[in-house]
Each structure stands twice: as structure tokens, then as C-alpha cells.
């Protein structure tokens, strides 16, 4: 169907979808800023189908917000923006940050109407960008495809309001809710795969979407994991992720082997400025091991203890200082239980395989009777199938509130 035959509401949805697609393509390229897309349209003087005159998305490395990228593209193509409509997946900003306010730029460009998917959760903006536009006489519509726009920026919304990472717990489980066979029946240094390739690729996508992934020393010793982003996804212009996925290991006594895959692949960021392996330990950890690990490219940091374990709120605070907006937990029973019991999880992704592991197997989370019970505390639950595996996703806290 021609765009002109659509109602205005349908047109708004179609152009917002296009802006959302541009925003979605910037996964791993916008953090610590939000993922934002913008589409500018112009209706020909004779009326009829509105035409896209400029569009774009924000990449943190390029500084320009999505609105500016789109305005520049329109200018470059020789289009006038006077009387145009701007579709933005996030309210245009009103503040001076790394750039000037986009609301001012849209006003100066002569935009007649602005359609925003959602208000900006940033307390420095939240409503003030839209207010600026209205005062300038621009027609403002808010809330088009709002939930989809919000889903894209859960971590940003959480971080900008609470200054701590948005925490997603991921677990691959047997149908009877176990993480792994009993340790005695396992081969050391080898992961035991429960789920199939399709579900495992979903985990790669979760990693691609995260700034950091965290596990405990128990899992490192049992599985010798790499914890890298092997999604193979690239952004616009084939850009790889802006910062490497930060791999975080909780290891209070620094038992991590120097020969582990994690340590062997450590990059201290000397060239890129981005370190990719952070080992968190207690102040009683052997200092000689700190030196060895540092020599091999890992970063080691001490964290206060609480009740004989590394303090998890301190762990999250340390990550926040490093601008980690989203943290993916890929942990064993002990840490799963601790994070859940301390109410530090925001979202959970539970993937169930068809296999049964039996009563002797390692439970999902220490202190939690079963993942099915844990599921009862989730909100906005969605279900999907990846090959033979069943995935349940839900929220414990709404990151937008
Ligand atoms: C973005 N990209 O397209 C829009 C943003 O530090 P700054 O100057 O880059 O400002 C970042 C803030 O600007 C961000 O927290 C959000 O509130 C607002 N809007 N940010 O990075 C964009 N539209
Ligand atoms: Zn802006």
C-alpha cells in the first residue's frame, strides 16, 4: 500500500519502525549512551506521500545524536528541512552534554512536527526537550511504538536513573531445573552443553547486547569458558563493537589458572584503551598472583567483603564506575542464589533443554527451590522456542521506573 493511502497514525508507525530499525542496528555501538534512530520526512508541496529526506542513528564514537545525523544527511542531499517531520525513537535532548541540545537544532532547522516514541528517562532531559519544541510552536506527538523503543534502551534507562548496571541473569537448565550434572560425574575443564545450537546462539546475542558478562571462579574452574561475544554481528558500515565485552570474574582468592582460556586471551587495552578481563578479588588475595595476572594482561581489583564473600553491591558499583550499563550473569548455583536473594536481578532469561539431570545434579540457584518457583516472581513474561529448547524471559524490576 502507498504511504499516502495510510492514515496519519499508520504513517507515524511506519516511519517510527524505520527509525527503530536504525536504532536497533547500533547495539554495542551506542553505550554508554542510548540507542537512538531518527527519520526526517517531507511532504511534497503538492501533497501526497511523505518522503524520507534524511535519517540516521547515534554512534557513541561519532558524538552526533541521531537527530543531527539525520539533519546533516538531509542537508547533504540538498533537501530543505523547513516544514519537515522528525521521527525520533527517544525524546530530543534539551541539555548541553558532549553536544548541544537536539531540540534547539530541530527548531533551527524549521521542523514542523516531531514524533517521539518515548520520553527520555535521563533526569537532565525527561520532558524538557519536548517542552522546548512545543514552546517553539512545533507539533509534538509522543508514545508511537513506545514499548519497542523502551525495550531497546532498558539498560540506559536503568543506569541513568540509578547509576548501577542493569543486570540480566541467564541460565541454561535441564527440564528438571538443574544447571549441570553432579561435579563428580563430569569431565573437568569442559562445559556440559544442555541446550542446542540455536539457544546457544541466543546467548551470543545476549552477550553482544551487554557491556559486561560476569561469572564466578567455580564456573571458571569447572568449564574453562571464554565468555567472548562470538555473535559475529556487525553494526552500520560493518563496525565491530565499540568496546570489547568486559569479562568479569569474581575470584576472592585468585584461584584462576594462568593457563585458563580467560587469562590467555586477556587484553589490557594498551592499544585500544579498553581492557577485556577484570578479575575481582578480596584484599586477602595473594599479591604475587595479582602481579602474575596483571603481567598477562588482566586487570585485578580488590572489592570489600560482606559475610565472607565479595560484596555484590560493591561489584556493581565498580562496574558502574567503568560505564558498564548492562551486565549479563552467566554464573553457577552459588552466585545465582546470591544475586537473586540480594534482589539485584532486573531481568532473567531461562532456557530449558529437554534433558533431565536428576536430584543429585547442581541446582539452578542456591537457596531457591527451583527455577519454576523463581519464574513466579517475573513480570512481562515472554516465551520462545529455540529448536528443542524453551526460553522464558521476564523482568523483576521495570528499568523505566
Ligand atoms: C544520544 N544519542 O541520539 C540522543 C540522546 O553526552 P551527550 O551529549 O552525548 O548526551 C547524551 C544524552 O542525550 C543521553 O543521555 C540522552 O539523555 C540524550 N539523547 N543521546 O547519545 C541520541 N537523542
Ligand atoms: Zn540530542
What is the pTM (predicted TM-score) of this model? 0.95
Can you tell me the ipTM of this complex?
Answer: 0.88
Q: Which residue is catalytic, options 10, 25, 55, 67?
A: 67
**Rounded to the nearest whole angstrom, what is the distance from the C-alpha of residue 11 to the centroid of ligand 2?**
24
Which of 34, 56, 242 to mutate to test ligand 1, by most ligand atoms within 8 A of the CB atom? 34
Instruction: Record the cell numbers describing residue 93, joined without a space.
Output: 535532548
379 is in an annotated binding site: no
The per-residue pLDDT for 186 is 67
**Rounded to the nearest whole angstrom, what is the distance from the C-alpha of residue 33 to the centroid of ligand 1?**
6
Q: Which atom of ligand 1 is nearest to the CA of 102?
A: 23
Q: Which atom of ligand 1 is nearest to the CA of 120?
A: 17
C-alpha to C-alpha distance for 254 and 279, rounded to whole angstroms = 8
Q: How many residues does the chain have?
A: 401
Q: Which atom of ligand 1 is nearest to the CA of 160?
A: 15
The per-residue pLDDT for 389 is 98
Query: Shortest CA distance to 69 belongs to which of 22, 21, 113?
Result: 22
223 is in an annotated binding site: yes
207 is in an annotated binding site: yes
Kindly state if the Cβ of 59 falls inside 6 Å of ligand 1: no
Nearest ligand to the C-alpha of residue 156?
1
For residue 67, indicate whether it is catalytic: yes
Per-residue pLDDT of the chain (401 residues; tens, 9 = 90+): 555 578 999 999 999 999 999 999 999 999 999 999 999 999 998 988 999 999 999 999 999 999 999 999 999 999 999 999 999 999 999 999 999 999 999 999 999 999 999 999 999 999 999 999 999 999 999 999 999 999 999 999 999 999 999 999 999 999 999 999 987 666 666 667 899 999 999 999 999 999 999 999 999 999 999 999 999 999 999 999 999 999 999 999 999 999 999 999 999 999 999 999 999 999 999 999 999 999 999 999 999 999 999 999 999 999 999 999 999 999 999 999 999 999 999 999 999 999 999 999 999 999 999 999 999 999 999 999 999 999 999 999 999 99
The per-residue pLDDT for 192 is 75
Residue nearest to atom 19 of ligand 1 (CA): 93
Amino acid at each position: 500500500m502507498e504511504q499516502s493511502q495510510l492514515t496519519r497514525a499508520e504513517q507515524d508507525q511506519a516511519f517510527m519502525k524505520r527509525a527503530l530499525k536504525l536504532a536497533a542496528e547500533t547495539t554495542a555501538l551506542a553505550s554508554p549512551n542510548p540507542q537512538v534512530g531518527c527519520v526526517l520526512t517531507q511532504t511534497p508541496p503538492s501533497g501526497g506521500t511523505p518522503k524520507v529526506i534524511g535519517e540516521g542513528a547515534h554512534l557513541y564514537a561519532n558524538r552526533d545524536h541521531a537527530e543531527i545525523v539525520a539533519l546533516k544527511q538531509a542537508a547533504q542531499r540538498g533537501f530543505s528541512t523547513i516544514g519537515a517531520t522528525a521521527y525520533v525513537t527517544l525524546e530530543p535532548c534539551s541539555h548541553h552534554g558532549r553536544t548541544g541540545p537536539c531540540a534547539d537544532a530541530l527548531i533551527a532547522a524549521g521542523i514542523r512536527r516531531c514524533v517521539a516514541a518515548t520520553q527520555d528517562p535521563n533526569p537532565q532531559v525527561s520532558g524538557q526537550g519536548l517542552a522546548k519544541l512545543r514552546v517553539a510552536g512545533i507539533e509534538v506527538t509522543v508514545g508511537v511504538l513506545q514499548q519497542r523503543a523502551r525495550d531497546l534502551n532498558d539498560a540506559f534507562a536503568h543506569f541513568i536513573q540509578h547509576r548501577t548496571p542493569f543486570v540480566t541473569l541467564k541460565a541454561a537448565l535441564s527440564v528438571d531445573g538443574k544447571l549441570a550434572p553432579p561435579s563428580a560425574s563430569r569431565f573437568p575443564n569442559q562445559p556440559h552443553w544442555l541446550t542446542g545450537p540455536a539457544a546457544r546462539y541466543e546467548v551470543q546475542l545476549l552477550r553482544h547486547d551487554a557491556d559486561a558478562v560476569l561469572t564466578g571462579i567455580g564456573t571458571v574452574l569447572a568449564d574453562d569458558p571464554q565468555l567472548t561475544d562470538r555473535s559475529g554481528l556487525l553494526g552500520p558500515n560493518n563496525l565491530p563493537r565499540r568496546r570489547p565485552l568486559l569479562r568479569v570474574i569474581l575470584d576472592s582468592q585468585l584461584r584462576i589458572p594462568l593457563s585458563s582460556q580467560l587469562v590467555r586471551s586477556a587484553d589490557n587495552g594498551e592499544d585500544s584503551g579498553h581492557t577485556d578481563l577484570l578479575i575481582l578479588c578480596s584484599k586477602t588475595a595473594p599479591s604475587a598472583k595479582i602481579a602474575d595476572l596483571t603481567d598477562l594482561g588482566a586487570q585485578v581489583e580488590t572489592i570489600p567483603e560482606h559475610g565472607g564473600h565479595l560484596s555484590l553491591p560493591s561489584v556493581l558499583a565498580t562496574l558502574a564506575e567503568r560505564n558498564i550499563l548492562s551486565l549479563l550473569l552467566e554464573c553457577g548455583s552459588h552466585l545465582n542464589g546470591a544475586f537473586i536473594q540480594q534482589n539485584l536481578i532486573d531481568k532473567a532469561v531461562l532456557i530449558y533443554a529437554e534433558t533431565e539431570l536428576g536430584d543429585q545434579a547442581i541446582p539452578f540457584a542456591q537457596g531457591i527451590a527451583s527455577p519454576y518457583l523463581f519464574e513466579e516472581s517475573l513480570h512481562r513474561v515472554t516465551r520462545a522456542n529455540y529448536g528443542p529448547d524453551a526460553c522464558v524471559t521476564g523482568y523483576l524490576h521495570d528499568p523505566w521506573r
